[in-house]
């Protein structure tokens, strides 16, 4: 599936609520695109600093994730990348939030999923990340997340009441 597809699949584990996708917006400090960079705070994979103490940050996860599942997926994706010597492409150094769609396309900066249903579909389709969880854990995770989505979809939110009740 390649690096970009796996980053999309990991988003389903690391950002597992409908609210998670309000954070992963273009032009914010949170990542919205599938690229990496040195010190770039909008990159999904960030390598801050230089020298002997260098480390890697994977930035699409949030505090609503189940850390053991997320870490399992991250480790499996990293190991797969090492085993298959996947090329992550060149690092991007720039402010993606101010690029036009044409510039994003020209730089080949894909997007992370824009919603939980899209992220869950990417997770389910990714052999490496999905299989790292095991069939039963993956099945239950997807079942729970899709049930939450179904409940969210039929709930009338206070904002909807305030905005539309007097209008409609």
CA distances to 96, 111, 124, 145, 164 from 105, rounded to whole Å, are 11, 10, 26, 31, 37
In this structure, are strands 36-38 and 45-47 parallel, antiparallel, or unpaired? Answer: parallel
Q: What is the dihedral of CA 70, 72, 74, 80, to 10 degrees?
A: -150
Q: pLDDT of 138-167, one tens digit each?
A: 999 999 999 999 999 999 999 999 899 877
| Pair 31, 42: CB distance under 8 Å | yes
pTM: 0.88
pLDDT at 4: 63
Percent of the chain with pLDDT over 90: 59
Q: How many domains does the chain have?
A: 1
Segments forming the whole domain that contains residue 64:
2-164
Q: pLDDT of 69-79, one tens digit each?
A: 999 999 999 99
Please tell me the distance from the alpha carbon of residue 95 to that of residue 27, in angstroms, as a whole number. 8
Residue owning tokens 């002997």 = 52
- Residue 19 sits in a domain of what CATH number? 3.30.590.10
């Amino acid at each position: 599936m390649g690096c970009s597809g796996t980053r999309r699949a990991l988003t389903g584990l690391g950002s597992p609520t409908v609210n998670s996708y309000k954070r992963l917006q273009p032009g914010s400090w949170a990542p919205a695109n599938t690229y990496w960079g040195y010190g770039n705070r909008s990159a999904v994979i960030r390598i801050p600093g230089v020298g002997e103490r260098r480390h890697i940050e994977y930035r699409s996860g949030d505090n609503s994730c189940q850390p053991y599942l997320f870490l399992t997926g991250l480790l499996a994706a990293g190991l797969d990348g090492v085993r298959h010597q996947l090329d992550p492409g060149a690092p991007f150094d720039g402010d993606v939030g101010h690029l036009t769609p044409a510039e994003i396309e020209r730089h080949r900066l894909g997007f992370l999923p824009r919603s939980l249903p899209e992220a869950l579909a990417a997770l389910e389709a990714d052999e490496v990340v999905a299989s790292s969880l095991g069939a039963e854990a993956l099945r239950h995770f997807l079942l729970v997340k899709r049930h939450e989505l179904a409940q969210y979809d039929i709930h009338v939110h206070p904002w909807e009441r305030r905005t539309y009740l007097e209008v409609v």
